[in-house]
């Protein structure tokens, strides 16, 4: 019952100035357990003055943090990562109760938080600028990295902790303060997660809760200096427009619709297992889920048969039990997903397995892992992000056709290929229009390499040196230690350098 006790304590609170305080909000949102439909607690829809106060506190706190030397900041961040490794269970339990994913996946998510924090703790000690050869004798030319200021992070429900750490760790390591606006579904877990950051200066990392109005006020404030947003295309575009008005830097991750290509050279058993993981991880609620399957006609039928068998093995239920798939996070998400499946059927897709709700579960927002065959490129199911556990399979005649269809999308986040043909692998590297490519290794990340997309999948990058640079300004510095004479450059310009008309 520890998590439920935590939710009771955290309901209606925000995290400002290094402590939990009760919001004065007159309106609250209920938080519902997606596996049981029980009420877990409620979150405050913070009034404008509380949001503004948090911004002022953040701007005061970052002066203390910026004044620290890089090693001291790194030690504090490493201590946070160590604390996460030693006590991940309470955060994982809260996350499973709020979001629904299996406890194993929640535990994994917390562990990924620790690796990201450790990575940026060290990277920020090295990525401080660069020295360049001077263009004038005796001078010293270099660049320095400086924090943007106060960073706003708007989080989704599907990976609220790891995305928080990918972005907040980079922002903090770069010398910034951070204000988090979590998704309404996972705000209580995010508040609970602040316990591990107690070693930071008070006010450096804060959480304010609420709906769209709260996020809009944070983004539009002239006292915030950078924004990281993960969510829908429409909201991402609105965030980018608001930031553009003041040229405020923004990092936007706005959905995906990732292709998964399977060619005859692929080991079929591995391709099938990889496909099941890529399609059904976190009940399909992953921005980089495989959502468009292009399978060569020579192996199409065997692949469909194998994937159906894998889907039917998956155990569905409450994420706190021995399961592989939990529920979708919200009833609204289930309604949307079921609508997509229904329209796919109407358009001619064949349901090979799944397509409904598990008969044994009459409470919670559960759906069955689904395999669709007979899918054609024009169907809605291949052109929208389902954000649910479905694998729509389209038969292709060649690798060229697969590449063409893979690129025929408004999105460009990730892409997958299963093939042992190295020519096909390197063609995929060159030709697939995506920010990420997995060849025979779906959905893995690397803290040291960038994560992000193209087209309507967003702009900017998380992770890697690029993720740190998102939250830094670069200043070019030129120093002449002797203030030497620069007559070669200064006034008055010599007569020899003046324009003379050509002689006729």
Query: Phi and psi (nearest 5°) for 294?
Result: -115, 110
Tell whether omega for the bond before 33 is within 30 degrees of 0, i.e. cis.
no
Active-site residue, 283 included = no
- The distance of Cα 75 from the centroid of its chain, to the nearest Å, equals 25
Angle between helices 70-86 and 160-173 (to 10 degrees): 160
Name the token pair of 413.
């986040």
- DSSP state, residue 437: -
Alpha-carbon span 68 to 198, nearest angstrom: 17
Q: Which helix (H) or strand (E) holds 73?
A: helix 70-86
Residues in the chain, total: 504
Q: Which helix (H) or strand (E) holds 313?
A: helix 300-313
Active-site residue, 46 included = no
Q: Which of 167, 253, 352, 385 is catalytic?
A: 253
Alpha-carbon span 432 to 408, nearest angstrom: 10
Q: Which helix (H) or strand (E) holds 404?
A: helix 399-407
Name the token pair of 458.
């967003």
- With CA atoms as reference, report the closest residue to 282 among 352, 367, 171, 363: 367
Name the token pair of 148.
């943007």
Alpha-carbon span 352 to 159, nearest angstrom: 29
Q: Which of 46, 165, 283, 287 is catalytic?
A: 287
Alpha-carbon span 390 to 291, nearest angstrom: 7
**Neighbouring residues of 292: CB distance < 8 A, sequence distance ≥ 6:** 257, 258, 259, 260, 382, 392, 394, 405, 406, 409
- Residue 242: exposure state from Cβ atoms within 10 A (0-12, 13-18, ≥19): middle
Alpha-carbon span 357 to 336, nearest angstrom: 14
Neighbours of 9 (CB within 10 A): 14
- Residue 339: exposure state from Cβ atoms within 10 A (0-12, 13-18, ≥19): exposed
Q: Which helix (H) or strand (E) holds 259?
A: strand 258-262
CB 105 within 8 A of CB 324: no
Q: How far apart are the first and last CA of the chain?
A: 97
- Residue 36: exposure state from Cβ atoms within 10 A (0-12, 13-18, ≥19): middle
CB 180 within 8 A of CB 190: yes
Neighbours of 222 (CB within 10 A): 8
Active-site residue numbers? 253, 287
């Amino acid at each position: 019952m520890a998590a439920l006790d935590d939710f009771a304590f955290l309901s209606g609170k925000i995290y400002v100035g290094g402590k939990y305080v009760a919001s004065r909000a007159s309106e609250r949102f209920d938080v519902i357990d997606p596996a049981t439909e029980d009420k877990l607690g409620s979150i405050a829809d913070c009034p404008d003055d509380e949001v503004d106060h948090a911004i002022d506190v953040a701007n005061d706190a970052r002066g203390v943090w910026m004044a620290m030397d890089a090693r001291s900041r790194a030690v504090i961040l490493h201590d946070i990562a160590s604390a996460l490794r030693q006590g991940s269970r309470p955060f994982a339990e809260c996350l499973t109760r709020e979001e629904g994913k299996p406890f194993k996946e929640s535990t994994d998510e917390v562990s990924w938080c620790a690796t990201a924090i450790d990575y940026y703790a060290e990277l920020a000690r090295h990525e401080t600028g660069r020295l360049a050869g001077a263009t004038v004798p005796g001078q010293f030319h270099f660049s320095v990295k400086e924090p943007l200021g106060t960073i706003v992070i708007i989080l989704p429900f599907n990976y609220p902790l790891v995305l928080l750490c990918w972005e907040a760790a980079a922002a903090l390591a770069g010398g910034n303060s951070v204000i988090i606006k979590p998704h309404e579904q996972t705000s209580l877990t995010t508040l609970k997660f602040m316990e591990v950051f107690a070693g930071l200066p008070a006010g450096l990392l804060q959480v304010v809760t609420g709906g769209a109005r709260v996020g809009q006020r944070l983004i539009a404030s002239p006292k915030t200096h950078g924004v990281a947003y993960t969510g829908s295309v429409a909201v991402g575009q609105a965030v980018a427009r608001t930031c553009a008005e003041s040229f405020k830097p923004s990092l936007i991750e706005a959905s995906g619709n990732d292709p998964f290509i399977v060619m005859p050279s692929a080991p079929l058993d591995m391709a099938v297992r990889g496909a099941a993981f890529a399609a059904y991880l976190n009940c399909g609620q992953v921005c980089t889920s495989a959502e468009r399957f292009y399978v060569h006609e020579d192996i199409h039928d065997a692949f469909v048969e194998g994937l159906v068998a894998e889907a039917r093995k998956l155990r569905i239920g409450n994420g706190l039990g021995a399961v592989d798939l939990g529920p979708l996070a919200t009833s609204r998400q289930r309604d949307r997903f079921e609508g997509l499946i229904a329209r796919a059927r109407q358009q001619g897709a064949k349901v090979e397995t799944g397509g409904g709700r598990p008969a044994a579960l009459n409470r919670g927002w559960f759906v069955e892992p689904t395999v669709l065959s007979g899918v054609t490129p024009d169907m809605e199911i291949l052109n929208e992000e389902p954000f649910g556990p479905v694998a729509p399979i389209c038969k292709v005649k060649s690798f060229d056709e697969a590449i063409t269809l893979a690129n025929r999308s408004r999105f460009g986040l990730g892409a997958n290929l299963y093939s042992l043909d190295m020519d096909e692998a390197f063609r995929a590297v060159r030709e697939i229009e995506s920010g990420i490519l997995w060849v025979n290794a779906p959905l893995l990340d690397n803290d040291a390499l960038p994560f992000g997309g193209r087209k309507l999948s967003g702009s900017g990058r998380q992770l890697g040196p690029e993720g740190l640079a998102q939250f830094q300004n670069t200043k070019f510095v030129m120093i002449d230690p002797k203030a030497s004479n620069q007559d070669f450059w200064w006034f008055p310009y010599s007569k020899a350098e003046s324009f003379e008309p050509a002689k006729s």
